[in-house]
A = this chain, B = another copy of it.
Amino acid sequence: MRFRVRFAETDQMGIAHHAAFVVWFEAGRVEWLRDRSLSYRELEAGGVSLAVSRLDVTYRLAVRFDDELELATRLTELRSRGCSFAYTLRSAERHVVAVATSTHVATDRDGRAVRIPGDWAASLAAAIER
């Protein structure tokens, strides 16, 4: 996923705010799923969400408004009721800007942990990169 830092994502330090990265990682997950013909929108419409239970981010370089960034996302772990993703965010010059991991729990509409639906589990299992 390639994108540019939005002006609204900057802060008074003149750099992208650290919370904006969290939104980018989420967008990276959605695109990663789409690339594997998995629609997160449809999963949610079916009543299952991948709620975030843990998030770790290491920020290495500051990025600025209008910088073009490239986000690589991969699925690193799959459990019956959850999964984990890893992210590497790079600048246009290929420097590593940030790395992160997120852990997710499949939940129903009431927030209870549920099993990942069978067709999703199969598709995800085929796409793991440790």
Contact = CB atoms under 8 A, between A and B. Distances in A.
A77 interface: no
A111 B62 contact: yes
Q: Which size class do A's interface residues fall under?
A: 35 or more
Contacts of A27: 6-8
A97 B51 CA distance: 14
Contacts of A40: 7, 66
A22 B10 CA distance: 15
Contacts of A10: 11-12
Q: How many copies does the complex hold?
A: 4
Interface of A (DSSP majority class): mixed
Contacts of A6: 23, 26-27, 30
Nearest to A61: B111
A81 interface: no
14 contacts: A7-B11, A8-B19, A8-B22, A8-B26, A12-B44, A12-B64, A15-B51, A22-B22, A30-B66, A54-B56, A54-B57, A54-B58, A55-B56, A55-B57
Interface of A: 6-8, 10-15, 17-19, 22-23, 26-27, 30, 39-41, 44, 49, 51-60, 62, 64-66, 111
